[in-house]
Amino acid sequence: MKYRRLGKTNLRVSVIGIGTWQFGGEWGKDFSQGEVFSMLARAKELGLNLIDTAECYGDHLSESLIGKAIKQDRASWIIATKFGHKYLGYMNRTEPRTPADVRRQLEDSLRALQTDYIDLYQYHSVRNSEFDDEGLREMLLQAKQAGKIRHIGSSISPNDNVHQVDGATKANVETIQVIYNRLDRKPEQAVFPSCQRQDLGVLARVPLASGFLSGKYKPGAQFKEGDTRHEKKQKEIDTKLREVEQIQRTEVPPGVNMAQWALAWCLQHAAVSCVIPGCKSVEQVESNAAAAELPMVRDDHPQAWQAK
């Protein structure tokens, strides 16, 4: 595994992390505790140390599966979770975001994760008016002073939300999570330069374009009910999959696994600290971890971890 410095947090993160929206049950599969345990145990063996989860991947369900799986070795992991949504049912959330709501959500997340601190607590794609809420900032600082949060981040949406990125330092935000992949390069324009100017860590989310950049789906592919991709328009899916076919033909070197190539592609950008592909099996964890070994993931990347 290779490691990078997560911007000004100075956390040492594996370039490949694990996205766990999947554990909440909105990707056409329910996860048993045993499966999550096996996936995280294998991830640890392979050197992965960053888990991204959220309050609304199930009603704290993903957090709870993770909490049980890692309680014996909590200190080995960097846990990133989020606040700002309340899960009501499949792809249905409300938006509790007052300081009192978030204080409650934080306690619920700590309980589910079976821990007394969260390494990275992220605004979960909130509106700019909520990001600017001074009361919420104050509440988060108090939680930080109390040791319940180590660092504050923002998972932005849309992925050119320059307001939240440019305002990060003022809002005590040290990391940005953003959609970035070979099909969606918008962050390169203004988001990444701002992150670099402020020394913000960058977590590239949806790095496989929801699995499409794995190369295993062809135009016409359909997803079953209960898989979040079932909600997307078929026309949009097919347009993306045609672009993927073109990329596979013209950019992916022969013999290279396309999912691994797609992760390594994201890691080439100087602003990117790590990718957080969502995983559904031990095999996917193993395949994604191996992406770090592709030559595109350079040892001389500006954020490569330097042993002191």
Ligand X SMILES: NC(=O)c1ccc[n+]([C@@H]2O[C@H](COP(=O)([O-])OP(=O)(O)OC[C@H]3O[C@@H](n4cnc5c(N)ncnc54)[C@H](OP(=O)(O)O)[C@@H]3O)[C@@H](O)[C@H]2O)c1
Between 147 and 254, CB nearer to ligand X: 254
Q: Is 210 in the site for ligand X (CB under 6 A)?
A: yes
Cβ within 8 Å of residue 12, ≥6 positions away: 3, 4, 5, 6, 49, 305
Q: How many angstroms separate the CA atoms of 64 and 223, rounded?
A: 27
Is residue 63 a contact point for ligand X (CB under 6 A)?
A: no
- Choose the stretch contacting ligand X; rule: CB under 6 A; options: 70-78, 105-113, 200-208, 231-239: 200-208
178 is a site residue for ligand X (CB under 6 A) = no
Q: How far is the CB of 85 from ligand X (least distance, A)?
A: 9
155 near ligand X, judged by CB under 6 A: yes
Mask: binding to ligand X, 214-233, rule CB under 6 A, as x and -?
Answer: x-x-----------------
Residue 274 engages ligand X in binding (rule: CB under 6 A): no
Neighbour count for residue 172 (Cβ, 10 Å): 12
- Residue of 7, 19, 84, 153 interacting with ligand X (CB under 6 A): 19
Provide, rounded to whole angstroms, the least separation between the CB of residue 129 and ligand X.
17
Residue span binding ligand X (CB under 6 A) among the ranges 71-79, 146-154, 168-176, 272-280: 272-280
The 3-state secondary structure of the chain, one letter per residue? CCEEECECCCCEEECECEECHHHHCCECCCCCHHHHHHHHHHHHHCCCCEEECCCCCCCCHHHHHHHHHHHHHHHHCEEEEEECCEEEECCEEECCCCHHHHHHHHHHHHHHHCCCCEEEEEEECCCHHHHCCHHHHHHHHHHHHCCCEEEEEEECCCCCCHHHHHCCHHHCCCEEEEECECCECHHHCCHHHHHHHHCEEEEEECCCCCCHHHCCCCCCCCCCCCEHHHHCCHHHHHHHHHHHHHHHHHCCCCCCCHHHHHHHHHHCCCCCCEECCECCCHHHHHHHHHHHHCCCCCCCCCCECCCC
154 scored as a contact of ligand X (CB under 6 A): no
Tell me the residue nearest to ligand X as measured from the CB.
278
Nearest approach in angstroms of CB 222 to ligand X is 12
* Nearest to ligand X of 187, 211 (CB atom): 211
Q: Is residue 48 part of the contact set for ligand X (CB under 6 A)?
A: no
- Residue number with CB closer to ligand X (137 or 280): 280
* 301 in contact with ligand X (CB under 6 A): no
Span interacting with ligand X, options 7-15, 17-25, 89-97, 265-273, rule CB under 6 A: 17-25
Task: Tell me how far, at minimum, the Cβ of 167 lies from ligand X, in Å.
Answer: 18
Give me the residues that bind ligand X (CB under 6 A), please.
19-22, 27, 52, 82, 124-125, 155, 157, 177, 205-211, 214, 216, 259, 276-280, 284, 287-288
